[in-house]
Amino acid sequence: MIRLGLPKGRGIAETRRLCSALGVQIKPGVLRYETQIDGAPVAIFLMKAPDIARMLRQNALDLGLTGDDWLMEHDVARQRW
């Protein structure tokens, strides 16, 4: 399963747009969704931007959308950008 971290809060507009493209409708209070892309299972987690960077560093997420400042602050390896 592909684990994808997307921002909530100020980044929610972009998250809604991406989730809509994936066929996922965001609901209030729900922070985890599952879908499939070309048959591959995808888990989507809505979280704060710094948490996305932290989880990328810990390899708890495969992909994430967050600012490069958070990636640098959490020492995420440049190869993961």
Give me the chain's average pLDDT, please.
90
pLDDT score of 81 more than 70: no
Q: What is the 3-state secondary structure (H, E, C) of 13-80?
A: HHHHHHHHHCCCCCCCCCCEEEEEECCEEEEEEEECHHHHHHHHHCCCCCEECCCHHHHHHCCCCHHH
Instruction: Map out the domains of the chain with their CATH numbers.
Output: 2-80 (3.40.190.10)
pTM of the model: 0.85
Q: What is the band of 45 on the pLDDT scale with cuts at 50, 70, 90?
A: very high
Backbone dihedral region for residue 23 (phi beyond 0: left; psi -120 to 50: alpha; all else: beta): left
Place of tokens 């409708």: 25
51 close to 12: Cβ distance less than 8 angstroms: no
